[in-house]
Every structure is written in C-alpha cells, then in structure tokens.
A and B are shown apart, each in its own frame.
Chain A
Amino acid sequence: GAGVSQSPRYKVAKRGQDVALRCDPISGHVSLFWYQQALGQGPEFLTYFQNEAQLDKSGLPSDRFFAERPEGSVSTLKIQRTQKEDSAVYLCASSPVGIGARQPQHFGDGTRLSIL
C-alpha cells in the first residue's frame, strides 16, 4: 500500500467494553510502533515490534492493553474493559529497518477512540 493504514478511523465504545484497533504498515517495513496521543499533547510511546517480536511494551498503561503482530505485518492493539481515560487517538507508525526508532517513522491517520 501507499502508506500506513489504520482502522477504524473512529471508534465509540461504552466503558467496560473491549476494543480492537488495526494497523497495516507499509509493505516490507520491519519496525512497527504504537503511540497514544491525548488531545493537545505529543504522541506517547506504547509498544514496539520488530517483525513479529514485541521488543518493548514499557509504554502500555496497564495490563488491559495488549498488542500483537503475529505474522510480522498487520498489528492489532486491544484494550480490554475500556475506561474513560483510554479516550485518545491511537497512532501506528512503521519504519523499514530493524533499529526502528532511529530511522524515519511513517505514521497512519490514527484511530480516534472515545469511551462513553
């Protein structure tokens, strides 16, 4: 594809529901990142994959957050038992090489999650 694709673009859920957010990185990109962006703030690191391996999940706010990339391509970020404070834009980014954060990262449009 031409760029990083995320779906859905918007998601509204009731507090307590589970949600799943999808990221399709640029074809062939080795590194994949998830970020959370609160209104008026910069993106905050959540987790990083190199191919299918999750090498860093230190930014995940709680054990309700889970990410996977089973075949080293598409990734899913799952949030269980959503809370109001989970409302944010979730951004996915990919880069072509293994040392991901020290190479240009290409972002998707994000998923705007609203928890009622």
Chain B
Amino acid sequence: GENVEQHPSTLSVQEGDSAVIKCTYSDSASNYFPWYKQELGKRPQLIIDIRSNVGEKKDQRIAVTLNKTAKHFSLHITETQPEDSAVYFCAAPPKADKLIFGTGTRLQVFP
C-alpha cells in the first residue's frame, strides 16, 4: 500500500552543523515531493519541494535530493541555527488527490 518512511525520528545537532533527514516512498506514481516544517502548535509550512524530473534543488541553506530509482529523497540543512528547531515532515502523493506524510523528524539545534 501507500507508505512513506522517514528517518531519523529525532535529530540533535550543534549550531552550525548540517542535518540530513531521509524518506522512502513506496508508490512509483509519486512525482512531487514536498517538505514541511512544523513548529509546536503551529501550521505545517512548506519549506521546499522537488519534482521527479529534477535530481536536486537548493534554496539558501536548504536542499532536497531525489533518487527516483531507489524511491528515496532527502532534506539537507546546512549551517543549522536554533530557529531551525522544529518537526520536519516529508510527503509524497501516490495519487493526484492524496498526500501521504512521513512520521516526522524532531530536529533540535543546540546553541
């Protein structure tokens, strides 16, 4: 069935270090892969997304890579800052009308 696995579930890094979160999806029909950041008690916010015809996309300190053959995609945050601390969710749409989210990664950046 449709499944998105996300690792790790928690991640602690020192300010300035890099953080990497990985997701694997099961349905090859997925062709759009967003990443959301959710702070405690707030709405999920789209931070970056990638389509299947692209292998990598960058936006300042954030990058996403996609390996369609292996069905996995990763979020990379460089030069982490305390305000990057939040829960991050990956997602994939096995169908045009349904987005399946990963289980989330709680990122803590220590000053």
Using a CB–CB distance below 8 Å, which chain A residues touch chain B?
4, 31, 33, 40-45, 48, 50, 55-56, 58-59, 91, 99-110
Contacts and interface: CB of A to CB of B under 8 A. Distances in A.
Contact of B89 (A43, A48, A55): A43
Given A41-B104, A42-B104, A104-B49, A55 B97 contact: yes
Given A102-B31, A102-B32, A107 B98 contact: no
A45 B102 contact: no
14 contacts: A42-B102, A43-B89, A44-B101, A55-B97, A56-B95, A56-B98, A99-B96, A99-B97, A101-B32, A101-B95, A102-B93, A107-B36, A107-B45, A108-B43
Interface of B is mostly: strand
A104 B44 CA distance: 12
Interface in B25-48: 31-32, 34, 36, 42-46
Most chain A Cβ neighbours within 10 Å, of B32, B89, B99, B102: B99
Contacts of A103: 32
B43 A101 contact: no
B78 interface: no
Cβ-closest 5 pairs across A and B:
A42-B101, A101-B93, A102-B32, A107-B43, A48-B97
